[in-house]
Structure 1
Amino acid sequence: MEIHYLSEKNSVLNHFLSQIRNINIQKDSMRFRRNIERIGEIMAYEMSQSLHYKSIEIPTPLGIKKTTEIADQLVLCSILRAGLTLHQGFLNYFDNAENGFISAYRHHPNNDDYFDIRVEYQAIADINGKNVLLLDPMLATGQSIVAVFNKLMERGTPAAIHIAVIIAAPEGIAYLKQNLPDTCHLWIASLDERLNEKSYIIPGLGDAGDLAFGDKL
């Protein structure tokens, strides 16, 4: 798996990352959503440099300009519900992309710290021969992403898989390396220290879905 760490160099990305973590700023859910969207736009730009392009000629009012445009067919697939705002950021840049949505959540059958992953709702475009961009703000254990990846592979064979996460724990990265093909690309905005005993990312930012859309029942 090829891993791309995006916050190693100072940029406006780090500015927005600091705001979504700040417990005082993140209380404003509208600002939190917008900052996640902005981070998605920055990540989409960085990812765009790895795509394939084709040469085109476009007419201007004064002549013809030779340039390039994206040649790859893209499918954006976000994990509900936290992935929705990140999805919008990518869609702002990849406006011709097709889209998919999958729900995945931690199920605690014994009402303790043990959990498995339930993958239920799916609404996904045809992925055969296309570049699939799997979007989820948080990479904690990695189990949700692997479960969703396996569901996606039941639907076809993509040309490439790119996984974009905002905050990742080392344990989750290791799990993806063990359970996903080497050909996958993993894009990480920020790498954190570890998981705690409840498998939450430390220092993390809290529950991205709750911060964006309110507490769930």
Structure 2
Amino acid sequence: MAGQLLLDLRDASTHQDKAAFRWNMQRLGRELGSALAHTWEMAEATCQTPLGEATEHVPAAQPVLACILRAAMPLHQGMLDVWDKADSAFVSAYRKHHDRGFDIEVEYLGAPSVAGRQLVLVDPMLATG
């Protein structure tokens, strides 16, 4: 399904329907989050049920999902739909153009400690087409 979602997102006619574009971006985030889960280290966890003890495989550690603000928000939400216990980091940045090219200006960075944790950068890179 990711291929169909990418095709729909890249289709110029889809860009006119902003709600459909955001929805497809969120759906793509779910697809990517699910694919990431299949590669993640898992651990056994137990809980007490009304009938006894149950054991399941759960992520050994939760990632930090970093969102580049605005463009990545629907993609980030889709990832959070899968990784609902993950922490989030938020970055606001833009390209500051000058004669020799551009620099990246970071206006805001809000993040938990990422020491010893996996950081997943959630960014659709819309400018690349």
Partner of 1:127: 114
Q: Does 1:35 align with 2:59?
A: no
C-alpha separation in 1, matches of 2:23 and 2:52: 39
Unaligned runs of 5+ in 2: none
Give the drift of 1:25. Answer: 2.0
Report deviation, 1:57. 2.6
By how many angstroms is 1:64 displaced?
3.6
Q: CA RMSD in A?
A: 1.9
Shift of 1:73: 2.8
**Could you list the per-position Cα deviations for residues 99-131 of structure 1 after superposition, in whole angstroms to 9, with x for gaps in the alignment?**
110112111134xx8222111211111111211
| CA deviation string 1:37-66 (max 9, x = no partner) | 110110111111221211123444544432
Which structure features the higher share of helix residues? 2
CA–CA separation in structure 2 for the residues paired with 1:57 and 1:100: 29
Partners of 1:86 and 1:66 in 2: how far apart?
A: 31
Greater shift in the superposed pair: 60-69 or 121-130: 60-69
CA distance in 1, matches of 2:57, 2:76: 25
Residue 79 of structure 2 is matched in structure 1 by 90
Q: Is the 8 A contact 1:19 1:26 kept in 2?
A: no
Whole-angstrom CA distance in 1 between matches of 2:45 and 2:29: 27
State the 1:27 CA deviation. 0.9
For 2:105, which of 118, 130, 135 is the aligned residue?
118
Structure 1 position 52 matched with structure 2 position 41: yes
Query: Is the 1:37–1:89 Cα contact (8 Å) retained in structure 2?
Result: yes
Distance in 1, matches of 2:28 and 2:68, equals 16
Q: Is the CA contact 1:43–1:90 (under 8 Å) kept in the aligned structure 2?
A: yes
Tell me which of 75, 81, 94 is aligned to 2:64: 75
TM-score (normalizing by structure 2): 0.88
Q: Structure 1 unaligned runs (5+)?
A: 1-11, 139-166, 168-199, 205-217
Aligned residue type for 1:47? L
CA distance in 2, matches of 1:73, 1:48: 10
* Paired residues, number: 129
